[in-house]
Amino acid sequence: MSSLPVTGTLYSSSGPQSIIWQVPEEVPVAILFNSTPYAVMMATPADLDDFAVGFALAEGIITSASHINGILTLPSEEGLAVDLAVDEKHLNRDRMVKRSLEGRVGCGLCGIEDIKDAIRMPEGIVVNTALSPKAVARAYEALPKYQPMNAVNRTVHAAAWCSPDGVILLSREDVGRHNALDKLIGALAKSKTNLRDGFVLMSSRCSFELVQKCALAGIGALATISAPTALALQLAKQAGLKLAALSKGGVMIFEQE
């Protein structure tokens, strides 16, 4: 389950106690296109095929999972390498900005050299997706049941695909929220899921990178645990992507006006 046992001492009102905890794995994962290195991301080594496909789509490097002819995952020094075979005509070289650093789990921008490459949104409006507050609340309540890794280590993020009425249909986990979303996007693309018919639920805050990834993948609605940043809200309005967040009083649906 991509977790490792560690021993520690728990200090509580009843005194010190030796216990075993499970902690998530975090390893370098190199993403290659046609055996040419593109980026190295720190990620949880699970569902790596989904991760690579979703990363390619969310970065705008390819426009369809059908353009991938094959995926090969191999050990690579201290981590893993995932090599995507893609016909050159289907690679968007303009999107393939040079990365000089590894992508760390807490940041979706590590390694980007030019500030103009930081914000990359689709040219048009994403699909018009309904987002019901009752559906979002229902999905929030069910989410823990779809986080098997987090149930063990209490550390990883989840990204879930939900039906319009809030039933969770698919979920992916990773120590990084961006990686979890990439894995979900990849799984949705591989299963040829209709992205007009549902929304994404994240167990994290709503940063602009999550909005950017959803918009580039063609997802029309995103719900997160906490409110979006000002930039995330601005970009969501620009793309026509609906946003929701959990509130003390219920579910907040942000206006698009």
DSSP conformational letter for 193: -
Please give the chain's pLDDT, 257 residues, in tens.
677 888 999 999 989 999 888 888 899 999 999 999 999 999 999 999 999 999 999 988 999 999 999 999 999 878 999 999 999 999 988 777 655 444 554 455 454 444 345 566 666 778 888 899 999 999 999 999 999 999 988 889 999 999 999 999 999 999 999 999 999 999 999 999 999 899 999 999 899 999 999 999 999 999 999 889 999 999 999 899 999 999 888 999 998 76
- List residues with catalytic annotation: 107
Instruction: Write the CA distances from 221 to 19, 47, 213, integer angstroms.
Output: 41, 23, 12
Alpha-carbon span 78 to 95, nearest angstrom: 28
Show the domains of the chain with their CATH numbers. 27-117 (3.10.20.10), 133-253 (3.40.140.10)
Alpha-carbon span 257 to 240, nearest angstrom: 10
Alpha-carbon span 33 to 39, nearest angstrom: 10
- pTM of the model as a whole: 0.89
The three state secondary structure string of 216-240 is HHCCCEEEECCCECHHHHHHHHHHC
